Homo-oligomer: A and B are copies of this chain.
Amino acid sequence: MAAVDEHELISRFFRPLAGRAGTFDLTDDAASLAPPDGCDLVLTKDGIAAGYHFLPDETPGNIARKALRVNLSDLAAKGARPLGYLMLLGLGARWEEAWLSEFTAALAADQSTYGIDLLGGDTIRADGLVVSITAIGTVPKGAMVRRSGARPGDRIYVTGTIGDAALGLLAATADSRLGHLDEGHRRHLLDRYSVPQPRTGLADALRRHATAALDVSDGLAGDLDKLCKVSGVGAAVDLDHVPLSPAVRAAAAQDPAMLELAVTGGDDYEILCAIPPEASEAFEKVATDAGTPVTAIGEIRDGEGPAMFHRGGTPSGFSRRSFSHTG
């Protein structure tokens, strides 16, 4: 590492990120946190590592944004309002102050966007860059949205569009199957892989209306399977209803395998949820008011087992169900 000790790192780069009472300007070993009255805390922990979760030439700003936002996406899916986060930064041998400066500037901007502060953390040497974040949010007592409450008859919704990030990762490798895409479409897909947009605006609507929710990080098909498994239900999804961006549509028009990749690939960070039919109109309205596009893609059904994907009733099997970040 360069000739900067941890004390200097904290003073220069991390102390400006710690604004909330109880962090003691990061001059202590720990933060003290008094949760708001009548609230539960919601805790989630996701990490990203060089070589596995972002591109080798990724900018420090995008690495920071992805590390933080994948956690904010989890909080949103649980109906939680973001409160703060702790961060472990494992720095490989080759890093520079300019890198760290850009990294922390991006965190500062996101803190402002999402109304959160750094509560504490640790900076260590590691073989490769690792960012491990614990994000903390709040919900009214007992109100965390679970994966496990979906009931037969519930409508299945997703936010935004599905598959952009999976195709973005493919585009980054200059895969020939996407060679026909124009530059605007390629740029869109790459951006969606690099910088998740957590659906924090949907948290209240989920708490009010969803019987179950999670964020799509390992692929729509596999994540729906997880929701079904813990809820003890089945599901049917009409592929023709899955919302796709113009870029994914263009890719799938050339090669139908791109549709399968879109539905089974990872890194969407959109929200998948189950909404009782009687609440779906209200849900769609509050989602629209919150500026979050939502689309009904299918229905929770009786039974167990993997969700059934079909096109207008004709079953469509997938050779794999999900993308694993441990794989």
A52 touches B324 (CB 8 A): no
Given contacts A34-B41, A45-B134, A91-B326, 5 further A-B contacts (CB under 8 A): A1-B326, A29-B78, A30-B43, A45-B120, A127-B128
A and B contact pairs by CB, cutoff 8 A, 5 listed: A1-B327, A30-B42, A43-B120, A123-B326, A127-B127
Residues in B whose Cβ lies below 8 Å from that of A44: 29-31, 120
Contact of A40 among B34, B125, B134 (CB under 8 A): B34
Q: Within the complex, what minimum Cβ distance (angstroms) separates A152 from chain B?
A: 19
In the bound complex, CA of A128 to CA of B81 (Å): 34
CB-defined interface of A207-237 with B at 8 Å, one 1/0 digit per residue? 0000000110000000000100010000000
Q: A40-B33, A43-B31 are in contact. Are A49 and B90 (CB under 8 A)?
A: yes
A126 touches B124 (CB 8 A): no
B230 touches A127 (CB 8 A): no
B134 touches A126 (CB 8 A): no
Using CB atoms and an 8 Å cutoff, list the residues of chain A in contact with chain B: 1, 5-7, 9, 22, 24, 27-35, 40-53, 74-75, 77-78, 80, 86-88, 90-92, 119-128, 130, 132, 134, 136-137, 139, 141-142, 144, 146-148, 214-215, 226, 230, 324-327
Q: A29-B78, A30-B43, A41-B41 are in contact. Are A52 and B146 (CB under 8 A)?
A: no
In the bound complex, CA of A125 to CA of B51 (Å): 9
Contact of A230 among B27, B34, B141 (CB under 8 A): B27
B45 touches A86 (CB 8 A): yes
3 pairs of A and B residues whose beta carbons are closest in the complex: A127-B128, A132-B132, A49-B126
Q: A6-B326, A325-B6, A326-B1 are in contact. Are A122 and B46 (CB under 8 A)?
A: yes
B50 touches A90 (CB 8 A): no
Residues in B whose Cβ lies below 8 Å from that of A34: 40-41, 141
Q: Within the complex, what minimum Cβ distance (angstroms) separates A78 from chain B?
A: 5
Q: A30-B80, A49-B126, A126-B126 are in contact. Are A326 and B43 (CB under 8 A)?
A: no
Return the chain B residue nearest A74 by Cβ. B29
In the bound complex, CA of A87 to CA of B44 (Å): 10
In the bound complex, CA of A28 to CA of B9 (Å): 35
In the bound complex, CA of A125 to CA of B54 (Å): 12
A127 touches B31 (CB 8 A): no
Q: Which residue among A43, A52, A87, A128 has the maximum number of chain B CB atoms within 10 Å of its CB?
A: A43
B121 touches A45 (CB 8 A): yes
Residues in B whose Cβ lies below 8 Å from that of A127: 49-51, 92, 126-128
Return the chain B residue nearest A4 by Cβ. B326
A30 touches B78 (CB 8 A): yes
A30 touches B74 (CB 8 A): yes
B324 touches A122 (CB 8 A): no
Residues in B whose Cβ lies below 8 Å from that of A80: 30
Return the chain B residue nearest A30 by Cβ. B44
B5 touches A126 (CB 8 A): no
A144 touches B86 (CB 8 A): no
Return the chain B residue nearest A77 by Cβ. B29
Q: Which residue among A46, A80, A148, A326 has the maximum number of chain B CB atoms within 10 Å of its CB?
A: A326
In the bound complex, CA of A7 to CA of B323 (Å): 11
